[in-house]
Each structure stands twice: as structure tokens, then as C-alpha cells.
Amino acid sequence: MSERSRTSSPGVFDFVERRWEEDILPTLTRYIEIPAKSPAFDPQWAAHGHIDRAVALIEDWSRRRPIEGLTVETVRLPGRTPLILLEVPGTSAETVLLYGHCDKQPEMVGWSDGLGPWIPVRRGERLYGRGGQDDGYAVFCALTAIEAVQRSGAPHARCVVLIEACEESGSRDLPAYMEALAARLGEPDLVICLDSGCGNYDQLWGTTSLRGIVNGVLTVEVLSEGVHSGASGMVPSSFRIARQLLSRIEDERTGAIVKDFQVVMPPARREEARAVVATLGAEFGRFPVMPDMRLAKEDPVELMLAGTWEPALSVLGADGIPAVVDAGNVIRPKTSLKLSLRIPPTLDAVEATRRLREILETGPPYGARVTFQAQTPSPGWDAPATEPWLLSALHAASERHFGKPAMFRGTGGAIPFMAMLGARFPRAQFFVTGTGGPGCNAHGPNEFLHLPMAKRLTACVADVIVAHYRARRG
């Protein structure tokens, strides 16, 4: 099916496509070249200036948009990453809040020949490079959607676009900005978050739940300095003790996490998972696993729920362990492991952090020195019931621009902003979506933005903004 035949509103889509090809892609390409790593991965971010360069690039592009009434401001609180605030007045008192971020994950290894994190490369429908998909495209999508609405002559509510620069570090700076800007933000009754994913590139997708995350560093110390490995068997290995401690959290044979971090899943979420698996078929659950390796569960519905509503533990990094080429016959004095515990959407993240520390630090084997230094946790989120007008609008937009109805699912990642907004604006409706589909590999090597998906999603966002005004104004 051609791009043009997918939509019964060719004027809107044609405009969006031209904007992407002629205006957005050159700027997004320059954005990918900037190593704007989040503060968690670049503690000297302020001195290095890369985040400021990304913000300046976005701000300059935004100021050149022919959007009536648009104001562009970069807000800077002392000691915090900047936040871009874009406001467009509307013809009604309601507010639509659109969200994205401009900070990035670190480089990672394993990029294919000719590709790299800061090397933008377009190959057919894909734009490769760090941050184009997660989440650099978001501001371009949001403002172009608003511009398309105005160009069509349709009325719309007031629109506010927030682009933060700390999302990949758990949005630790965002609460301060939400407090400082509370009067200006008002109380949005529709939130559109553009930092999520999609199950395929053939229809519009909405995210209904997000897992939370507890990150931290577990350190086990057994010696004040390394000693000859001839003492092995007498001095317990710090790595072995760390293994014992992890077994308090996870069954290493099955990956099952102890009951402390589990919740009762709403039945509706299981039905969503069944619908998603039925839609995606063989496309679901494809990962670049090694030949003959099996995934954690055989049943595809249970596999999907394992990645969206069940807790899971990962070891993300290690210190105190030399590279193989440098390893001598020495009992190492300590082992440090960076842990990531994904938690169910409705589990209290603060209590989960407290409980995780308690489990790991209480009664250390052999009396070893054990500490767990937790980062600020990111809470999960479970969407409120979707109002009929929004559900209808999402299906209509998907049919118009993709030729298929919208689909809905939970995802395994975390977006701290959503839990924050859900608590702050309990009466708001939420449309959480994004371009992170099959193979895009956000956070990893060979990350790419699927350009047709980004274009169609932009047109869909424009339709939803129009539908919101009509629903609220009768």
C-alpha cells in the first residue's frame, strides 16, 4: 500500500511527509551527531556542553516554525539539566500536554560496519544513530502535528510541549521543573507521550502500562587488598557471595523473582496481551538470540506478560573484575554489580527499593561487607480507563493513516514522567505512543528510527488533537 493510499486526508499527510523530508530530517541528522548523553552516563555533561548543543539545535528549529502564537523557552533551574517549554495558545481553555526528551543513552558496542552512535546514516526507511528514535524525533513530531492542525484550519485546545534532558537518568530533574512551572502548565486533560514503542510499523499503538525500575550497585567486600589465589578455599570469593545474594532475589534456574516484588495483574491486561499476540503472530518475541537458544517462556502470551507485568532482574555492569587479559591469580578484594530490577506497573517503587536493600544487606554471608547503593527509583504506571472519544479517535486516526485499527499493549520499559503525571493529574486522559518497533534496538547498537512510522504517527497526533477539541467542545 502506498503512502498516499493509506490516508483519506492526503492534505494532512502530504504536508507532514514534506515537512519530514525537507525540514525535519536535516535537523534530526544533526541532532544524532551530538553525543548528548544523559547525566547518569556523563556526569560532566554541563562542562562538555553536548546537552546544551542539542537543546540549542531544537530551540532554533522550533523558533522557525510558522505556528501561530508559538513561544519557545529553555528553562534552566540551578544545577539541573535544561528543559524546553513550547506553548501554543488555543481556542479553548483545555490543555493538551505533549512530552518527549532529548538526552541519550551511551554509545554501547556492536554497531555494524558503517554505523555508529553519532554517525547518522539513512538506509531506505531507516535513520540510524543514537537518539533519533529515543527520543529525538518527539519534538519534531509534536510541533509538526500542531502545525498541520493549524494549516488545516481546525480549532484546537492550548498545546504545551515539554522536552526534558534527563529522562534516561530517571527524570530526576523533572519534578523540580513540574513544581516550578505548575502555574504555567495548568491542568492538562490530555497527555500525549511520544517516548514509547509499537508492536509493528503497520498501525497506531497505544501503551497502557509501563514497568517501574529500581537500579543500584551491589558491592561485596572481603579483603582490604588482593591476595594470592593460593588462599582460595580459605577466603570466600566476593563473586560467590554476590551470587548468593542475587539468589535471594531471583531463582537463577527460572528467573522467577521473589513474591516481595510481584502484584496481582488486572485481567484486562491479559486480554490485551492475547490480542497483541494474535495480531503480531510470528513477529512477536523476535530478539537477536544465539542459534538454538530459547526465550524465557514458550507460551507467547505468558512471554509478553513476563516482559510487561512481571518483575525481572538484570546485571548491567560490574567493577572490581579485571579484563580477561589482565586477570592474574589473585583473590579480588571486592565485586560491584550494577543491578536493574524491573518491577510491575502498580508496585510501589520506593517500598521496592527499601525492601531490595534490606534483602541484600541483611545477614551477609561470612560477615562480608555488603552495601546496596540505590539510585532514585522510577515508578511504573497503569493507564486509567480510556474515554470513548479518545478510543474512537485513536482507531479513526489509525484507519486513516495506516489502513488498520489501533492496538494497545503494556511495555516493559519505564517512563518516569507518566507516573508523575498520572499522580499529578488524575482526571487526565493519556495517549502514550512512540516509534520504538521491531528491530529498532533503542539503547543498543544499530538504533534506528523507522521513518514511515514517524510520519504516520505525526499525522495521527494531529488527528487526535483535533478530535480532543471536538469532544471537549461538543
pLDDT value of position 1? 38
Q: Do domains 4-210+380-473 and 212-276+301-374 have the same CATH topology?
A: no
61-72 average pLDDT score: 98
| pLDDT-wise least confident of 185-199, 242-256, 417-431 | 417-431
Cβ-Cβ contacts under 8 Å for 12 (sequence gap 6 or more): 148, 152, 459, 462, 463
In this prediction, residue 3 has a pLDDT band, given cuts at 50, 70 and 90, of very low
Q: How far is CA 247 from the centre of its chain?
A: 28
Cell numbers given for 359: 534483602
The whole-angstrom separation of Cα 156 and Cα 334 is 59
Per-residue model confidence (pLDDT) at position 288: 84
Neighbours of 29 (CB within 10 A): 15
CATH number given to 4-210+380-473: 3.40.630.10
The residue behind cell 500536554 is 97
pLDDT (mean) for 167-183: 94
User: What is the band of 20 on the pLDDT scale with cuts at 50, 70, 90?
Assistant: very high
Write down the mean pLDDT value for the chain. 94
Q: Which residues pair with 372 in a beta bridge?
A: 218
Among 77-86, 278-287, 432-441, which stretch is predicted with the lowest mean pLDDT?
Answer: 278-287
Which CATH code, of 1.10.40.30, 3.40.309.10, 1.10.150.120, 3.30.70.360, is assigned to 212-276+301-374? 3.30.70.360
Span 20-42, average pLDDT: 97
The number of angstroms, rounded, from the C-alpha of 410 to the middle of its chain's C-alpha atoms is 12
pLDDT (mean) for 37-42? 97
Give me the pLDDT at residue 417, please: 82
For residue 4, pLDDT beyond 60: no
Cβ-contact 379, 212 below 8 angstroms: yes
What average pLDDT does range 314-331 have in this prediction? Answer: 95
Give the least confident one: 82-86, 276-280, 367-371: 276-280
Helices (H) and strands (E) in the chain, counts: 14, 18
Do residues 203 and 340 make contact, with C-beta atoms less than 8 angstroms apart? no
Q: Could you give the CA distance from residue 281 to residue 258 in angstroms, rounded to a whole number? A: 31
pLDDT for res 414: 86
**C-alpha distances in angstroms, 297 versus 294, 307, 336, 345?**
8, 10, 30, 20
Phi, psi of 339, deg, nearest 5: -105, 145
Contact 261, 344 (CB under 8 A): yes
Q: Band of the pLDDT at 10, cuts 50, 70, 90?
A: low
The residues pairing with 190 across neighbouring beta strands, listed in sequence order, are 96, 429
The amino acid at 118: W
Q: Which three cell numbers stand for residue 270?
A: 491479559
Show me where the domains of the chain are located.
Answer: 4-210+380-473, 212-276+301-374
293 alpha carbon, distance to own chain's centre: 27
pLDDT in tens, 126-167: 999 999 999 999 999 999 999 999 999 999 999 999 999 999
User: What strands, in cross-sheet order, belong to the sheet with 95-101?
Assistant: 71-75, 83-88, 158-164, 95-101, 190-193, 429-432
User: Residue 9 pLDDT more than 80?
Assistant: no
| pLDDT average, residue stretch 64-91 | 97
Q: Given this model, what pLDDT does residue 462 score?
A: 98
Per-residue pLDDT averaged across 191-195, rounded? Answer: 96
- Which helix (DSSP H) or strand (DSSP E) does residue 207 occupy? strand 205-210
User: Are 104 and 85 in contact, with CB atoms under 8 Å apart?
Assistant: no
Q: Is the pLDDT of residue 7 over 50?
A: no
What pLDDT shows up at residue 389?
Answer: 97
pLDDT cut 70: percent of the chain above it: 97
Cα-based distances in Å from 420 to 212, 217, 290, 424: 12, 25, 38, 6
Give the mean pLDDT of 6-34: 87
